[in-house]
Amino acid sequence: MSEFPTRANVVVIGAGIVGNCLVGHLAELGWTDMVLLDKGPLPNPGGSTGHASNFIFPVDHNKEMALLGVQSANQYRDMNLSVDSGGIEVARTQERMDELQRRMTSAKAWGVEAQLLTPTEVKELVPFINEEVILGGFYCPSVSVVDSLETGTVMRKLAIEKTGLQVFANTEVLDLETTDAPNGATKISAVVTDKGTIEAEYVVIACGVWANKVAMMAGATIPLVPAVHQMADVGPMDVLAETNNEIGYPIVRDMDTFCYERQSAGSMEVGSYAHRPILHHPDEIPSNEEAALSPTEMPFTPDDFDDQMEQAIELMDMLGDAEIKYAINGLLSLTPDAMPCLGETTEVRNLWSAAAVWVKEGPGMAQVVAEWMTYGYPRVIDAHGADIARFYAAERGDDHIWARAEEHFNKTYGIVHPAEQWEGRRDLVKSPLYEREVALGAYFFQARVWERPQWYESNADLVERYGLSEREVEWDNRWWSPIIDAEHLNMRENVGMVDLSAFQIFELSGPGAIQFAEYLAVNKVDKPVGSSTYTPWLTPDGGFHSDLTMLRTGEDTVRIVTGAFDGGRDEFWIKKYLPEDESVTFANLTMSTCTIGLWGPKAPAVLGALTDIDLSQEGSKYGSLVNAEIAGIPCTLFRISYVGDTGWEIYTGWDNGVALWDALAEAGADHGIRPVGIGVYGGTGRMEKGYRLMGAELESEYNPVEAGLARPKVKAADFIGKEAYLAAREAGPAATACTFTVDDLTDSQGRQRYMQGGNEPILTLDGERIEDSHGRVSRVTSAAMGPSVGSYLLLGYLPTELAEVGAKFQVMYMNELFPITVAATSGSAFDPDDTRLKS
Amino acid sequence: MRILVCVKRVPAPGAKILVTEDGQDVDAAHLGFTTSPHEECALEEAVQIAEREGGEVTVLTLGEAAAEEQLRYAASVGAHNAVLIPTDGEPWDPQRTARAISQAITDLEAADGAFDLILFGNESADSGGFQVGVRCAYALGRPIVNGIKGIEFADGVASARREIDGGYEVYEVPLPAVFGVKEGINLPRYPTMKGRLASKKVEVASMELQADSGGLARVRLHRPEEQVSETVILGTGADAAGAVCDLLEELGVL
C-alpha cells in the first residue's frame, strides 16, 4: 500500500456499502484524488453492512425510499451481485390485508410487478408455511438478495482503477479539523487519523452507526442513533439445503409480527423489528478488537426474542426443531424521522453526510450524494426528504433522536398512515397563540418541531350547519375531521383567522442583500420597497429547491417567508450561497414574529374595524406590504392569499401575538369569524385554488414551466439554475401539473373512499401507468376535499400532451380504480379568475 | 441415571477482554457471556447419556443472578433441572466454591437421591484453576478422573478415557463418580427454538449457601502485553519467487 497521504481532495470515512459505492460513483463522475478510510479491516470492516440480511423489497409508500430502492436493486443487478428471490409479505389480520391493497397501489405507482396471493397460493411458493395463520400475501417477484460486501469491493476497485483511489483499512479517525470561512462559517480542513493527518477539501462521513460521533469531532451533527435489530440464523433444514442455493424460496415478511424469514443456504434467518427498542450510544459499541464477532454484532439478548420465536414457529413449524447457530443484536442506524441523512452538513462547509442508509438503498443513496457533490443537487431523484438540512436544532440532540427512534422502530413493518402524527416529543415549539388554541380545542399536527392546529374542535357546531359528516371508512377518517371542511365553508362565507406563526422568516440585509436575493430567486425581487415576490428557488439543474415569498421590506432588506417543513433546508441554502465578501447579513426572525392569516369576504370589514388605514385594493394592493397599527398593535399587512379569499397575512412581534389574535376575534365576532386550521390552509383552500406545495407538487424533478409557475418573462439578473431554466422554457414542459376532480368516490363495496395524497397512481382508462418522456410517473401529489366546488380534488402531473381540461383518467386507491377528470391545468377549480382575491 | 453438571458463567471468547481500572474485575461493558467450553461439552455428554441410558440431567452453577442465563441455556439444550447458588457477585475462590457446591450436592442428594455421575469441565475458561471438581469429589468421597474425552457404562461401572501422548488411558470407575470433561469429547448441539422456549418453563432452584474462603485471593488482574506478530510481504505473484526461495534456504528447508 502506498504511503499515507498528507493531502487529498476528498476523504471518505467508512468503507461499508455507502462509502464504497460513493467512491465508485464519484470516480464515475470524474472526481480524483480521493482517499477511503475505515477503522476496520477489509472487506468487512465491522459496520452494519457486514451483518445485513441483504434483501430488497422494492415497494415502499415513500417515493424516495421506493425509487432509490429500485435504483439500488438495479445497480446490484448490473454488477451481477443480486438474485431475484421474490418475496411475500403475509397478513395475519384484516387490517394488514387492507394495507396489502395499499402496497399493491404503491407497486403500481412505482411500476413494480406485484400480486396478491391467497393463503394457498402463498403455500405453493413457500411449501413450509402454515397457511392457516395467514389471510393472504403480497407477492413481489423482483424482491432480491444482494451481496453487499462484494458490491462494496467492486465499487472500491472501480474507483481505484479509474482514479487511483487510495484505501486505508485499520485506520481510525481521531479528529476532524476545521478552519474559519466567510460569514462566520467553518469549513472542514483535515482528517486526523492514527496513521497521520490528511488535509482535505471535502470529507464525507459514511460510517453508519458511528456517523454522529465522527461528525461531532468537527462540531457538526448527523442525527442518528445505533439501534439493535435482532437476527437469529437457524438450521440446517433439509428443505432449504436441497435447493443448493443461497436463496431458493421467496423471502417471507410476517408483517403483523414485524419479523422476516429469509433463507440463507441451508438455514433460515429470522429477523425482528418487534422487540423493545434497544438503542446504544456510539461509545458503547466495542472496537474491532473488543468485539467477539464484529463491533455491530453485539451479544444477543434472547429474552427480547422469545415472542418472535413463538410466532416464527407458528408460521413455519420446521423452525422449531432447527438449531439457533448464530444470533446477534445487530446494529443499524435510526434517525428521528426514519429517513436517511444525506447532503452537506449544515454546520461545517464541505463536510458531507452519507449516513443512516441501509443496504437496500445503499448504492442509490450513494449516487444521490455523489451527484449532489458534483452538480449542487441530486439528479437521480429529489432528495428533500433525506436532506440532512431538514432537521431543526431541536431535532439534532440525543433526547429527540432517541425518543423518535424508540417510537418508530416498531413501525418498521407497521401500518403507517400518510398523515400519522408522532406521540412523543410534542410541544417542542409552540406558537405564541398556543394557549388560545388549546382553549379552542385545537387538534395539533406537528410540522417537524412546530405544533400547528389542524382544526379546532370549537368549530364542531359548523359541521351540522353545513351538513357535513364523518367519512365512512376509518382509514380515510383517521387524522381528519369534517370540521376542516366546515371551517373552510365558513371562511368562504364569512371570515377565518389562521395561525401561521410556524412560518420560517428570514431577513437578508446589507449592501449586497438585494443582489443576493436576486441570485437565489427565479422571479424579480428588486422591486419597490413594499413589494412582494412569490418565487421558486431552483437547483443548479433548474428543478425546485424551494418555493416561497420574498418581501422587499427596505432598500437593503429582504424578508423571506417559507414553510415550517422547509425552514431548515432553505436557511442552509441561503447560508451556503451567501457572498464571500460578507456584504449580506442573515438573520432568522422566526422566533420573534407572530403571523396571523385573515381571509374571507368579511376580512376587510373585520380589519377595517381595527385600523384607520385604507384597506381597499388601492390602499392595500394585492401582493403589497403596508405597515399599520391594528388595535394599536404595530403590524405589517401583507395582502396575499394561499386559500383563495381576500385578506392578509398580518405580521407582528411574538409578544404582541395574543393581543392581535384577541382583537381580531373580538372584531370578527359579529362577522362570523372562526379560527381556521392548517387543514384548510394547506389542504382544502389551497387545493381549490390549485396552489402548489413544496415537497408535494414542487420537487427538484420538476421545473417551473411544468409546475405552471413560469412567468411570461425572465429577469435579466443571474440566478441559481438560470441556464437550466432558460433551456426548460425553450424546450417546453414534458409534464404539466393538473387539478383533477374525482368523479365517483364509490368503491366496489359501495363505500365512499378518499385518496390521501400518498402517491396514488393516475392511470389511463385502460388502467395503464402513465409516464412522461423523462420517465416520471403520474401520481397524486396532494389530495383534499374541495368543499366549495363540491368535488374531491387531486393534484398531480400528466404528460403535457395528455393534460387537457376535461380529459378522463383513473386513480388507483387501495387497489381499486376511481374515475377522475382534469379540472384545471394552470388556474384553479375555484374562482378561476381570482375575483375573490382582488375584491 | 441421575447426572449433575456443574457449569460456570464466563465472558464469551473471541473478543479482547479488558480489565477494570482497579484491576479487580473483567470489564464487561462489551462482553457477552457463555458457559466454559469444557462444561458445554460436559453438558452435551450428560444430555447424550441421559438420552441413551435414560435418566435426567441437573445443571448447577454458582454465581450472580445473571448466571441464570447459562442455566437457561443448559435447559434449552436438554438439561431437566437447574440450580443456582447465588453469590453477591464477588469472586469466590476455588475452596469456597467447592465447599458450597459440595454442600449443595449433599442437600440435593438428600432430597432426591444420589447422582450417579457428576461432571465438571476440566477447568474454567476464565480463571483456569483446575480445582473445583477435584475438591468436590474429595469432599464427597467419590472417585474423580480429569481430562476425560470419552465415557461409557457397563454394569454400574463407568469407563472413562483420556488422551495421553500417543494414545489413551482408560479408567474403570465405580459409580457414583466425578469426571472432569475436556473439550473434544463431543460436538455440543445448539439450542433449537423449541428448546429455547421450553427452557423458559424450567424452574431454577435457588440454594442460598455460605462457605468459608480458602487461601487463594485475587490481588489484581492485568492484561499481558500483546504479542505483536510482524508480517513481512515478500512480494506478489511470480516476482516473490526469489525471496521465497531465499527464505526457505535460510530456514534450512531447501
The closest of A408, A497, A13, A403 to A210, measured between CA atoms, is A13
For residue A703, being part of any structural domain is answered with no
Domain around A32? 7-47+150-223+337-400
Which residues fall within 8 angstroms of residue A194, CB to CB, at 6 or more apart?
Answer: A171, A172, A174
Does the pLDDT of residue B228 top 80, yes or no?
no
Helix, strand, or coil (residue A361): helix
Give the minimum alpha-carbon distance from B167 to chain A in angstroms, rounded to a whole number.
33
Cα A156–A162–A163 angle (5° rounding)?
A: 90
Contact A309 B197 (CB under 8 A): yes
The closest of A12, A47, A48 to A27, measured between CA atoms, is A12
Strands laid side by side in the A762-763 sheet: A762-763, A808-813, A816-824, A735-742, A791-799, A780-786
Boundary of a domain, candidates A384, A400, A416:
A400
Contact B192 A287 (CB under 8 A): no
Contact A306 B200 (CB under 8 A): yes
A281 part of contact set with chain B, CB < 8 Å: no
For residue A666, being part of any structural domain is answered with yes
Contacts A310 to B, Cβ<8 Å: 197
A88 and A21 housed in the same domain: no
The dihedral region occupied by A582, where left means phi > 0, alpha psi between -120 and 50, and beta the remainder, is left
Q: B27: pLDDT confidence band, cut at 50, 70 and 90?
A: confident
Candidates B193, B197, B223, partner chain A, best to mutate (most A CBs within 10 A):
B193
**CA-to-CA distance for A216 and A345, rounded, in angstroms?**
11
A134 and A269 housed in the same domain: yes
Nearest CA in chain B to A310: B197
CATH match for B2-250 among 3.10.129.10, 3.60.15.10, 3.40.50.620, 3.40.50.720: 3.40.50.620
**Identity of the residue in B30, B72, B193 whose CB atom sits nearest the CB atom of A291:** B30
Candidates A259, A306, A307, A317, partner chain B, best to mutate (most B CBs within 10 A):
A306
**CA-to-CA distance for A152 and A16, rounded, in angstroms?**
7
A362 and A323 housed in the same domain: no
Contact A323 B191 (CB under 8 A): yes
Boundary of a domain, candidates A358, A385, A400:
A400
Contacts B72 to A, Cβ<8 Å: 302
pLDDT in tens, B185-223: 999 999 999 999 999 999 999 999 989 998 888 889 988
Pair A701, A543: CB distance under 8 Å: yes
Contact B192 A321 (CB under 8 A): yes
pLDDT more than 90, % of chain A: 97
**CA-to-CA distance for A400 and A730, rounded, in angstroms?**
47
Which grid coordinates belong to B59?
445443571
The residue with greater pLDDT, B14 or A504, is A504
Give the minimum alpha-carbon distance from A263 to chain B in angstroms, rounded to a whole number.
16
Give the minimum alpha-carbon distance from A153 to chain B in angstroms, rounded to a whole number.
20
Boundary of a domain, candidates A314, A331, A348:
A331
A248 and A365 housed in the same domain: no
**Complex ipTM:** 0.86
A320 part of contact set with chain B, CB < 8 Å: yes
A143-157, A699-713, A819-833: lowest mean pLDDT where? A819-833
Contacts A298 to B, Cβ<8 Å: 30, 32
CA–chain centroid gap for A86, Å, is 28
Phi, psi angle pair for A661, to nearest 5°: -55, -45
Nearest CA in chain B to A268: B193
DSSP for B146-195?
A: EEEEEEEEETTEEEEEEEETTEEEEEEEESSEEEEE-TTSS-PPPPBHHH
A164 and A235 housed in the same domain: no
- Quick one: which H or E segment has residue B18? strand B18-19
A207 and A263 housed in the same domain: no
Contact A321 B197 (CB under 8 A): no
Candidates A280, A287, A315, A323, partner chain B, best to mutate (most B CBs within 10 A):
A323
Contact B196 A324 (CB under 8 A): yes
Nearest CA in chain A to B17: A290
| Average pLDDT along chain A | 96
Helix, strand, or coil (residue A252): strand
CATH code: domain of residue A616: 3.30.1360.120
For residue A154, being part of any structural domain is answered with yes
pLDDT in tens, A121-170: 999 999 999 999 999 999 999 999 999 999 999 999 999 999 999 999 99
A216 and A103 housed in the same domain: no
For residue A715, being part of any structural domain is answered with no
For residue A35, being part of any structural domain is answered with yes
Q: A2: pLDDT confidence band, cut at 50, 70 and 90?
A: low
A312 and A344 housed in the same domain: no
Q: B32: pLDDT confidence band, cut at 50, 70 and 90?
A: confident
For residue A498, being part of any structural domain is answered with no
Does the pLDDT of residue B28 top 90, yes or no?
no
Give the residue numbers in B contacting A (CB under 8 Å), as ranges: 12-16, 18, 29-33, 69, 72, 189-194, 196-197, 200
Count of pairs with CB atoms under 8 A, one residue in A, one in B = 66
The closest of A56, A93, A48, A537 to A250, measured between CA atoms, is A56
Give the minimum alpha-carbon distance from A259 to chain B in angstroms, rounded to a whole number.
15
A97-106, B13-22, B187-196: lowest mean pLDDT where? B13-22
Contacts B29 to A, Cβ<8 Å: 284, 286
**A646-663 in b/e burial notation, b at 16+ Cβ within 10 A?**
bbbbbbbbeebbbbbbeb
Contact A319 B193 (CB under 8 A): yes
**Identity of the residue in B15, B69, B194 whose CB atom sits nearest the CB atom of A292:** B15
The closest of A818, A709, A134 to A476, measured between CA atoms, is A818
Does the pLDDT of residue B53 top 70, yes or no?
yes
Contact B192 A306 (CB under 8 A): no
Which residues fall within 8 angstroms of residue A589, CB to CB, at 6 or more apart?
Answer: A505, A506, A507, A559
**CA-to-CA distance for A386 and B82, rounded, in angstroms?**
52
Distances (CA, A) of A214 to A19, A192, A390, A694: 14, 11, 20, 32
Ranges of each domain in chain B: 2-250
pLDDT in tens, B96-147: 999 999 999 999 999 999 999 999 999 999 889 999 999 999 999 999 999 9
A247 and A389 housed in the same domain: no
**Identity of the residue in B32, B69, B197 whose CB atom sits nearest the CB atom of A292:** B32
Q: A553: pLDDT confidence band, cut at 50, 70 and 90?
A: very high
Give the minimum alpha-carbon distance from A134 to chain B in angstroms, rounded to a whole number.
21
pLDDT more than 70, % of chain A: 100
Q: A653: pLDDT confidence band, cut at 50, 70 and 90?
A: very high
A230 and A319 housed in the same domain: yes
Contact B194 A324 (CB under 8 A): no
Contacts A312 to B, Cβ<8 Å: 193
For residue A537, being part of any structural domain is answered with no
CATH code: domain of residue A355: 3.50.50.60
For residue A814, being part of any structural domain is answered with no
pLDDT score of B30: 81
A293 part of contact set with chain B, CB < 8 Å: yes
Which residues fall within 8 angstroms of residue A421, CB to CB, at 6 or more apart?
Answer: A445, A446, A479
- The number of helix segments (H) and strand segments (E) in chain B equals 6, 13
**CA-to-CA distance for A221 and A694, rounded, in angstroms?**
25
Eight-state DSSP code of residue A568: H
pLDDT in tens, A577-602: 999 999 999 999 999 999 999 999 99
Give the minimum alpha-carbon distance from B155 to chain A in angstroms, rounded to a whole number.
34
A305 and A316 housed in the same domain: yes
Structural domains counted in chain A = 3
Contact B189 A323 (CB under 8 A): yes
Looking at residues A335-339, what average pLDDT do you find?
Answer: 97
Nearest CA in chain A to B193: A320
A197 and A310 housed in the same domain: no
Contact A299 B16 (CB under 8 A): no
pLDDT in tens, A404-422: 999 999 999 999 999 999 9
CATH code: domain of residue A130: 3.30.9.10
